[in-house]
Amino acid sequence: MALGLGVPLGIIAGYFGGWTDAIISRCTEALLAAPFLILAIALAAFLGPSLTNAMIAIGISATPIFIRLTRGQVLSVAAEDYVESARAIGLSTPRILRRYIFPNVLPPVLVQATLTVATAIIAEASLSFLGLGQQPPAPSWGSMLNMAKNFLNQAPWMALWPGIAIFMVVLGFNLLGDGLRDALDPREH
């Protein structure tokens, strides 16, 4: 959701500028005024406890990151000579966006997407731990940790394995993001 909404809004804001950019940027800044997890908790509490509502809350909370990143990348790419040349020869705006802007914006967005997946996993576990995410008996690492907190003295391994699982998956996505950044960075080649 964050990627599908944030990237198009960022492209529109960065490429067209003017009042469109001002409106999108002010809305983005308003969402960024609240910390990611606090906004996700507030939205999940408002929407009600369920996995779907938790994912909607996390998606809305992560969207401003993609809008801001994409907008910045579009502003940078749109100022390049080859984009100005494409405008000068009369290429249509959709073609310029599809052929020149989007492919050059994609690598940093993909890296951010992998890092956001890791953040979303932690956020979902946090929401489930608080009772705002996936509801028992459906499995969720956060709800497993919530259940395990009652048995820490008798069975500490109940908290250990979900915690290790969260750690390993988040570490894996962070390493994937680092690897993608290294592979897709044109300055490294």
Q: Which domain holds residue 77?
A: 2-188
Structure tokens at 18: 């003017």
Number of domains within the chain: 1
Q: What is the pLDDT of residues 149-188, one digit of tens each?
A: 999 889 888 999 999 999 999 999 999 999 998 888 766 6
Q: What is the DSSP letter of 99?
A: I
Q: What is the pLDDT of residues 15-74, one digit of tens each?
A: 998 999 999 999 999 999 999 999 999 999 999 999 999 999 999 999 999 999 999 999
Alpha helices in 79-140 (DSSP H): 81-88, 93-96, 102-129
Please give the average per-residue pLDDT across 140-147, as a whole number. Answer: 92
Q: What is the pLDDT of residue 124?
A: 95
Q: What is the pLDDT of residue 189?
A: 56
Contacts of residue 75, defined as CB under 8 A and 6 or more positions apart, other chains included, come to 14
User: How many CB atoms within 10 Å of residue 131?
Assistant: 15
Distance CA 58, CA 62 (A): 6
Q: What is the DSSP letter of 35?
A: -
Q: Could you tell me if 18 and 75 are in contact, meaning their C-beta atoms sit under 8 angstroms apart?
A: no
Q: For position 13, which CATH number holds?
A: 1.10.3720.10
Q: What is the pLDDT of residue 3?
A: 87
